[in-house]
Amino acid sequence: MKPDKQVEAKIDALLAQMTLEEKIAQMVQIPYPMLGREESLRWAERGAGSFLHVLEKEAQEVQETALRSRLGIPVLFGIDAVRGHALNDHATIFPTQLACACTWDKDLLRRMGRVTAKEVAADGLHWTFSPLLCLARDTRWGRCNETFGEDPYLTGELASAMIQGYQGEDLADEDSILACAKHYIAYGEAVGARDACDSELTYRKIREVFLPPFQKAVDAGCATIMSAYGSIDGLPLTADACALRDILRTELGFRGFVVTDWQNVTSLVDKQFLAENADAAACLAAAAGNDMIMSSPEFFDSALRMVRSGKLSERIIEEAVRNILRIKLQMGLWERAAKSVKKADIGCEAHQSLALEMARRSLCLLKNDGVLPLTERIKSITVIGANADDIRAQYGDWTYFSHPLPHPEHPPIRPYTTIREGIETLAKTHGISCRYAYGAGPLHSEKDDLEEALDIAKQADAVIYVVGDEISQVGEGKDRADLALSGRQEELLLRLLALRVPLICVLAASKPLAICSAAAQAQAVIAAFNGGAHGGQAIAELLFGKCNPSGRLPISFPRHSGQLPVYYNQLPGWHGENNVGKYCDLPAAPLYAFGEGLGYSAFGYQNLRMDAETLTASVEVTNLGERQGLETVQIYFRDLVSSLLTPVKQLIAYEQVLLMPGETKCLSFQLRKMNFSMVNRTGERVVEPGRFLLMAGHSSKDEDLLRCEFALA
């Protein structure tokens, strides 16, 4: 965002008219469902800058009240539209961010962001708390489903595309909304994957691994950034001026505004014990560089007291208000607040079609011993598993009936298709009989009936067993110590495998789980994660060959919880095989690796070349199968000798190519010298001269990669 003299002049004029109370009120974001209508309207009269989780008529009433206040500054309405406008019960519900990341498709993410923006704007709202740029490198963490996976490069690419979709060509367009890159920074790296705990990191490591996606978000013009719950080396991000001012604004060049996460300022007092009281917490948060304070209304009185007592500079308050007003002016909030909204876009057919396309592209086929696609030789199918017929589990969290805000729970609203429904529909068109049994769910339940499931399975030509987790195991504060299949799912899996009936295992879960038995003995394994409203149809289409799967994992699967971390770009040095080490009772490799995924066509690679002068890499890719297929060509590198430890491999580029059977294409990648950089001990990103290894192939696995060495002077 470039400085705009006209906008800055308008900000100056507004600030000159504002009382101290009106300035501080602009920094306050009110949680409407928590405070209720009457108290929220009083805050609108007072001039609160933003409201959280307000929909439809309530939002209109709040805005009308704000426009009648002394200065008539409109409010920003924020909502967690993190996978579509899914807190609205008639909106389009996309797959989770982790599932979307399996597409590796920037254009799809941009289009999804555009659809979400149109639906959010059609509800009279302005701001989504998305995308999430945390890295899911320890999959015990409860919020893995909200991430783009484990890799900083892929995360930055997909997040930038989503931001562009949300914000459109111009923030002032009526169907553009504000994006919010969160959670700044390294929130997902908390010790033991315990949500919001301390991240024991150096700032060199942060610059090396966790900052690059945020740099891309800033470069993409992201309007807002959310500070994280947790802490770095013992200092909560809410109070970390180095992170929020020195790095974010000075180094990265961010010119939007920073919003805290839910009750972050209050947490400085009652959870993190950094501040003695709300007054001290308000001083710390404002001085560190937080501009808008989410869900801590007490900040208003505290900040007012601290400024009047001289303990908090009014200049800091004015700086924050300036950042907020700049965004409000850039998005033409005064003009938008005066217009009526259009509801026609919400949940429309075109948007549902994109959600189905995203669901298809998000599926990762991880194993196939030839059982898929299902053919005419299959006359009967048994579908088993609670998650096969549970739309709440299929959705995952952050939807209108699987998250507590803003609506109370109520039954799901169509359109949606469960996995069972999708399979039954396509089986009927193929003349295949299909039966369903609950079998077992992620939690022990009176519904568990293993014997019925086994009896039905014995009579089938193929069994589709759907395993996974459910909403009580997903989200904030839902970190897991054990990633094995929960409930009696593993017991039933082993008994089904013993029947010797071809078994297809579908993982409908929020994260990778330790599914070693399925990987070893099932005839096929599909990672579906949380596929949204049309996930069931997409899975059925994959099973029956209506679509050729093309998803690639953005995250690695552990064999066991104790094997973590298993992310692909680890540092070398641990005693063991491949110089990345292993436990004595487990292989070194993950169960399934970053970048892995099969289709109904295989691909061959040959002739990898690297021109060290022009930094141009090229590789030939051939479709070896009998069907048209989409391949994701992945480029990695390794610094062979460096002054600090560097990853054993790091993704630096990728491209998707559609190939006809037998077709070969030569792909060229124009790389930059900084693609081969590292962060040194002083925090500078540098490229050290020496020898490098370039790798290209189908996944991050060593056996899937071609290699060539080159030197940089």
- List CB contacts of 36: < 8 A, sequence separation 6 or more: none
The pLDDT of residue 129 is 98
Q: How many angstroms separate the CA atoms of 230 and 678, rounded?
A: 26
Q: How many angstroms separate the CA atoms of 567 and 135, rounded?
A: 10
The pLDDT of residue 409 is 67
- List CB contacts of 528: < 8 A, sequence separation 6 or more: 99, 362, 363, 364, 419, 506, 507, 508, 535, 538, 539
Q: How many angstroms separate the CA atoms of 51 and 426, rounded?
A: 45
Instruction: Tell me whether strands 198-199 and 127-128 are parallel, antiparallel or unpaired.
Output: unpaired
SS3 (DSSP) at 391: helix
Residue linked to tokens 């298809």 = 360
CA angle 151, 129, 266 (to 5 degrees): 105
SS3 (DSSP) at 602: coil
Residue linked to tokens 């396509």 = 426
- The DSSP string of 549-566 is -----SSPBPSSGGG---
Q: How many angstroms separate the CA atoms of 96 and 359, rounded?
A: 10
- List CB contacts of 537: < 8 A, sequence separation 6 or more: 356, 359, 417, 422, 425
Q: Which of 52, 47, 40 has the alpha carbon at shortest distance from 23?
A: 47
Q: How many angstroms separate the CA atoms of 675 and 260, rounded?
A: 32
The pLDDT of residue 459 is 96
The pLDDT of residue 376 is 83
Q: Which of 476, 24, 29 has the alpha carbon at shortest distance from 296?
A: 29
The pLDDT of residue 56 is 84
591, 623 contact by CB (below 8 A): no
Q: Which of 342, 418, 417, 434 has the alpha carbon at shortest distance from 379?
A: 434
Helical ranges in 173-313 per DSSP H: 203-205, 211-219, 241, 264-270, 278-288, 299-308
Using CA atoms, how far residue 643 sits from 223, 580, 639, in Å, is 37, 18, 10
pTM score: 0.97
Q: How many angstroms separate the CA atoms of 1 and 555, rounded?
A: 32
Element holding 524 (H helix, E strand): strand 524-527
263, 296 contact by CB (below 8 A): yes
Q: Which of 90, 95, 36, 33 has the alpha carbon at shortest distance from 398?
A: 95
Helical ranges in 402-515 per DSSP H: 419-429, 450-458, 489-498
Strand stretches in 18-102, DSSP E? 28-31, 50-52, 76-79
| DSSP category for residue 466 | E
State the 10-residue block means of pLDDT for the chain, 713 residues long.
84 97 98 95 97 92 96 97 95 98 98 97 96 98 98 98 98 97 96 94 97 98 97 96 98 97 96 97 98 97 98 98 98 90 86 98 98 94 98 95 73 95 97 97 96 97 98 95 98 98 98 98 98 98 97 98 96 70 88 98 98 97 97 98 97 98 98 98 96 98 98 94
